[in-house]
Amino acid sequence: MHSIYAMLVAVFMFALMDTAMKLLSARYPAIQVAALRSLSSLPLVAAYVAWRGAFKGIFQVRWSMQVLRAVLGILMLATFAFGLKKLTLAEAYSIFFIAPALITAMSVLFLKERVNPARWTAIGVGLCGVLVVLRPSGAGFLTIGGLAILASAACYAVSAITARILARTDRSEHLVFWLMLMMAIGASAMAAPNWVAMGMADLPLLCGLALSGFIGQLAITEAFTKGEASSVAPFEYSALAWGVGLDWLLWRALPDGFTLLGAAIIIGSGLYLIRHEKEHVESEHP
């Protein structure tokens, strides 16, 4: 259950981070927003690693996979920031909900985890809810914003599996540190030619981006390194509630009928997964 609580905290923090990214993406290029997210959190990550005494052995990591995860992280942030320009938070999250199903499938293929038919069915029902949100005609899906969010979800799913594999040999602090450092360097280098100077009015947003991103990254790393990916991933569905609330609070945007119907299906499947996971744990530990 510890990994599930960690995921719920991560989802809330990332909802706040995504709100800051959406506000910033209206004024800055998507790749610059990705760079700002990494640069702003890097000092906090370095301080955390120092506090944990984890700089010892910091270079003893699996470099090829660390670099792969950083590349995926840059692509994930840049495409998500771009998609947020075109979509509401609720719409973006609904498309991003494809990621848990991708993680579950990959966990079976690469991690040899076992997923029973009941969990496959519940995840399938959740995906049907995503399709409802995207509209039966597919018009809500085949947009440049929707495709950007889909690409971001695919990068995230591969990154989550990579983190799970890296956790077998590398410390979680090292995973967070190298991810932030490499993303900061890579995204900044890509954004440099078209960098837009920041105004003082955006500094509070930058601070919020740093804190929420830092806490969220620690929590999600904890979730995927301490729990089975196929069990933890479905709890990301809770992001939809935060997305709807933040959309209304900041932009007075409410989801339409298709989004509400899809959300009901997604939340129903998520509640079933929570109940099934609890019964599974209790059966193993009477």
Q: Output the pLDDT for position 285.
A: 44
Q: What is the DSSP letter of 237?
A: G
Residue ranges for the chain with pLDDT beneath 50:
284-286
Alpha-carbon span 91 to 83, nearest angstrom: 10
Per-residue tokens: 185? 């360097």
What radius of gyration, in Å, describes the C-alpha atoms of the chain? 18
Judge if pTM exceeds 0.75: yes
* Dihedral sign (CA 119, 104, 6, 253): negative
Q: Output the pLDDT for position 143.
A: 76
Alpha-carbon span 124 to 269, nearest angstrom: 9
Element (H, E) at 88: none
Alpha-carbon span 249 to 89, nearest angstrom: 12
Residues 108, 273: contact at Cβ < 8 Å? Answer: no
57: left (phi over 0), alpha (psi -120 to 50) or beta: left
